[in-house]
Amino acid sequence: MKKRHKQGNKKVRQPHENYIRSALSDIEMAKSFIKAHLPAEIVSRIDMHSLQLLNTNFVTKAMKKLQSDIVYSCSIDDKKSMCCIASNMCDTRALI
C-alpha cells in the first residue's frame, strides 16, 4: 500500500510533482530548465522572450477534470510552437 502525504485536509499522492509543477510554472525557472536539459543547437532556436505559460487544465465531455504537463507557447525559428517541460502527460484521448 502506498504511503500518502497530507497537505492541509487534502491527501497528496506525489508531493514532488506539486513542487516541480510550481517551480516550472515560473518563467525564469523554465528558461533555466530548458537551457540545462536541451541541446545548445535547439536552445539557440528558441526565442526565450516569447515564452508564455499556457493553461493546461481541461474538462472532458464526461466532466472529468484533467491537468496536463507544464506547457509554454514560444517561438522556435520564428514559428509559433509549444514546449512541454514537465513529466506527466495527460491522456489526450480523454479530451476528444
Chain CA centroid to CA 32, Å: 14
Q: pTM of the full predicted structure?
A: 0.63
Query: Ramachandran region of residue 15, left (φ > 0), alpha (ψ -120 to 50) or beta?
Result: alpha
Q: How much is the pLDDT for 71?
A: 84
In this prediction, the residues of the chain whose per-residue pLDDT falls under 70 are 1-13, 58, 60, 66-68, 86-96
